[in-house]
């Protein structure tokens, strides 16, 4: 357990154990819809996560069994001016980007509706595990708008531009099995199995070298924005940096000595 403290009101429930932090968006009566207050709460939590040197992994989910996050709060958005909409999107984009840039694995545990801003939140996670009752979609065009929390950029990077445009221009919803088929999620299981799987996954992630895990994230995400030759040089540099600390020495010593590594 780290010494990090979290100030998030009651909109984001935070639980931490052995370097693994579980965040739960806590608006079940509103299907965990995102509004400025939820984004403020998440931003406050991210302040603590970014300062937590003992952080090893983050799990993100929604309260209740009906929704991960059903989208943005439409009742709050419907009267926004273009200037207010731009500010709201900016707030969401900045917050979600901070989640994405954490140097540890971030896993979305998707239960129920994962639509609009909720899908965009899941896309900012490194991967997603879905229960078999999950429903995904970017239905913003049915409301006369487009995704504004990063979906137009992250969705095509995850599933390809053709499938991303399919989802974004039809507004159709897909179930967990189709989400798995197109690569939007990594695994699908029953809702009853989701928490147990998350516990095992968290333990696996927390047991790996934290600097190496962070370097892998940097190599993948930063490398995707570069040409292949530049990205390979980035990989080479990050590989070399792994040898600069004691993490590599412990990992390789443990392998040779046939014992678990102690990172």
User: 30 and 146 share a domain?
Assistant: yes
The reported pLDDT for the residue numbered 4 is 63
pLDDT band at 2 (very low <50, low <70, confident <90, very high): low
User: Considering the entire predicted model, what is its pTM?
Assistant: 0.92
Residue 7 lies in a domain: no
pLDDT at 213 over 60: yes
User: 217 and 198 share a domain?
Assistant: no
- What is the number of domains present in the chain? 2
Considering only CA atoms, which of 89, 91, 28, 20 is closest in space to residue 62? 28
Q: Is 140 a catalytic residue?
A: yes
Tens digit of each residue's pLDDT (9 = 90 or more) over 219-239: 999 999 999 999 999 999 999
| Residue of 37, 79, 140, 250 with catalytic role | 140
| Residue of 16, 44, 120, 235 with catalytic role | 120
Q: Give the chain's radius of gyration (CA, Å).
A: 19
3-state class of 75 per DSSP? helix
The reported pLDDT for the residue numbered 168 is 98
pLDDT at 83 over 70: yes
CATH of the domain at 20: 3.90.226.10
User: 233 and 124 share a domain?
Assistant: no
Mean pLDDT of the chain: 94
Per-residue pLDDT, averaged over 114-126, amounts to 97
The sign of the torsion formed by the CA atoms of 189, 175, 123, 221 equals positive
pLDDT at 23 over 80: yes
């Amino acid at each position: 357990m780290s010494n990090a403290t979290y100030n998030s009101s009651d909109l984001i429930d935070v639980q931490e154990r052995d370097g693994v932090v579980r965040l739960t968006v806590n608006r079940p009566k509103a299907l965990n819809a995102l509004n400025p207050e939820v984004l403020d709460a998440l931003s406050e939590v991210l302040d603590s996560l970014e300062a937590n040197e003992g952080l090893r992994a983050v799990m993100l989910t929604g309260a209740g069994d009906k929704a991960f996050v059903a989208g943005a709060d439409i009742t709050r958005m419907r009267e926004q001016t273009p200037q207010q909409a731009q500010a709201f999107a900016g707030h969401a984009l900045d917050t979600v980007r901070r989640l994405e840039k954490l140097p540890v694995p971030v896993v979305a545990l998707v239960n129920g509706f994962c639509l609009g801003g909720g899908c965009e939140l899941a896309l900012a996670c490194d991967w997603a595990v879905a229960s078999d009752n999950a429903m995904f979609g970017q239905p913003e065009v049915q409301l006369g708008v487009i995704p504004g929390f990063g979906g137009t950029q992250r969705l095509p990077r995850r599933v390809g531009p053709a499938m991303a445009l399919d989802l974004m221009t039809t507004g159709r919803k897909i179930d967990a099995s189709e989400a798995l088929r197109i690569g939007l999620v990594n695994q699908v299981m029953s809702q009853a199995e989701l928490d147990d799987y998350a516990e095992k996954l968290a333990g696996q992630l927390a047991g790996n070298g934290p600097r190496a895990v962070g370097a892998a994230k940097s190599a993948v995400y930063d490398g995707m924005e570069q040409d292949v030759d530049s990205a390979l040089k980035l990989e080479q540099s990050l590989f070399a940096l792994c040898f600069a600390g004691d993490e590599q020495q412990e990992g390789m010593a443990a392998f040779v000595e046939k014992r678990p590594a102690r990172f």
